[in-house]
Chain A
Amino acid sequence: MIASVPLEHSLLAAAVLFALGLVGVLVRRNTVFVLMSIEIMLNAAGLAFVAAGARWGQPDGQIMFILILSMAAAEVSVGLALAFQFYRHFKSLDLDAGRTMRDWHV
């Protein structure tokens, strides 16, 4: 059933997802959307792992996906906490508002 999906297709889907995520990170200014885009990129990587694992008949791909999943959960908790603090500080979710944090002394 799964084996009927060719590897190239799933990898292509993963690449497209990754590109979408990357573009989202690069162009969005809203913190929440940037975090979501990062999730998409992580999922793209997970998809590539699962597809590769299915292609070689190995469980490693799925193990890696579980790892990515748990890492993503951790990342979200930290990311949301950051977003929360960011908002409290800048009264905005616009990431560019944070550029006042750069080192002006240089």
Chain B
Amino acid sequence: MDRRGFLAAGGGLCVGLSLGGGRASAQGFRAARGLSLGEVDTFLAVAADGRVTLYSGKVDLGTGVRTALMQIAAEELDLPMSRVSVVQGDTLLTPDQGATISSVSISRGGVEVRRAAATARAALLAAAAREWSVPVEGLATLDGEVRAPDGRALDYGKLVGGRTFMLKVDPKVKVKDPASYRLVGRSVPRVELPAMVTGQFEFMHDVRVPGMLHARVVRPPAMRGRLGEVDDSAARRIPGFVATVRVRDFLAVVARDEWAAIRAARALRAQWARWEGLPDQSQLWASVRASPILRDDVTQNVGNAPLMLQKAARVLRSTFDFAIHTHGSIGPSCAIAQWEDGRLTCWSASQQTHELRRQLADMFALGADQVRCLYVEGSGCYGRNGHEDAAADAALIAREIGRPVRVQWSREDEHVWDPKGPPTLIDYVAGLDERGQVTAWTAEAWIPQGQSVSRATLVAAELGGLPTDASHPGSVQQHLAIQYGFPNIRSVAHRLAHTPFRPSWIRTPGRMQNTFGNEVFVDELAQAAGVDPIAFRLRHLSDARAAEVLGRVAKLAQWVPHEATRPVLQAGRRTGRGVSYVKYELVRTYVAVVAEVEVDVDSGAVRVTRVHVAHDCGQVINPDGLRNQIEGCVIQTASRTMVEELRFDRSTVTSRDWASYPIMRFPDVPDVTIDIIDRPGEPPWGAGEPTAAVIPSAISNAIHDAIGVRMRSVPFTPSKVKAALRAAREAGTRG
């Protein structure tokens, strides 16, 4: 189905003359030009009634991106928001603006939309000027109309008349002066919330395709397994059973309704070969350290750190590790697939429908133009969880049985089979001179190999013996390079050939783990130098925005400058505060946080009571939306830091539900206070992830402030805290 068919069905016709004068209809545009990012029509369509459709490759994940993009488009076009609607993540209709990852939806996607809308506005003004035979300089736009000084007005709908713009986006187009903003920079309420609170919002899980059947996948008991005999005699007796699907080691049952599919999956008897290829979890870090290394990436090299280490008066060493985490989506992955005349349509909550389309095309030996992937919101996914795998499951089952199929993963499917945030191990060594000044900083990390395009192997393809990609978790070496101006720095990433599970990106991938190590180790260096942690950071940064964000969090938290003290370890509760800072990927959003904790020295239990955040992401599109993201980063990452650790045996994941993989619940959620630095004259940067990067270290630094021990291993479970206290007592030292 092409875009014309869609639009005709939707009631908004795009036929006839282009604004530029040539003859081209919308469907001709699509066929001739595809969805180039350089064309205004790729992003915007104006219907005859003046309503504007925004076509976005970036999708809303519960992040407020849809509303923010509407604000941006409506601002540049001088339109009420109520006249804008969004189509997102449909490979047939929306451009490939890259996956919705990396916190660039606004900084890249939003800027692309802004330029397209501004170019469109200029074209509308020019068209009105021609229509009225007046100079364009005297004209203005307001409320979806072009207005002349003499009072004449033309609605955009009348000007464009549902035609296409046939216009290239001007990369240097003059965008609106932020001083004139009516929408951008305001806390416009998210457009989805009224539907969400009344049960009207349609999630992926709510999509119904006519004639669809319900399927459940049946996975091996281990992470790998050859499938032997399948006995579905009991499954077949379940009323509503339709079929068993087997493609090599891929196994599923299909039924007329959802509960029948669940019952049939439970009744299925399958023999799987044993597999024990996972490391012993109690030896995980030894096995990471011993993993074969594909190559070493030098991530930063300043001066000659190895030489200066040899000459140092004193050497500090610390090792950090960060556990394997799962995304923990509240709604297990769900997808629907339908084949028709050799073409595949797939509905899922994938953050990257264009990439999914390519993966499914490869899996089934199709051309990309024979596959259409549509995005429908799932629950928060925080990276590459099971959505794409559910899509591949549905596509394979639907192909086998010749009917549209809905696959719903169980809670166990999601916990076990979603790809995981890989384990991270980092050794730091720093050299100090006689005065405690840092002369050299080195970091050595053991992390999986990565590629610039993030992708993960599709489970269905792997089990079914069909083509798929190797997994690459994205740029997890980010932030091994540091911003601090130490005179000699060398950091290296050992890219490992293997990692225990399919690695994928989970919020702030690599950047969280590496910033954890950096910002605790910096605190240790501040302690060695006898300098306040904020003052120490400021000394080694020459960046005005860095100084401001650190100054603002100090003010917000009423930080009292102090050297790291050595508290007497005694029974009872101790409170402490710790600071952390990052400039995300060294090139964009600045965040500084102060975390406050309360430690029960007897039980080792740590409560994160409050986190203060100062945040500079340049031009803020929606302040409340930004606050929502910052709070989310804090709370989710506090959970990951304090309690989360994927557990496994030699065969499989043993964290199979919320009891065996607990996450933070209401009683333990910290308060969050936020100071937003809004710079309307700067480019807008992202906020979905940067704050998450600094939470683990801020909490660790706060624990040190409270009880004098350094937590260098995430999660900071009570038993680890107690072990650290014991070790400190036995050593007679602190930290």
A and B from one assembly?
no
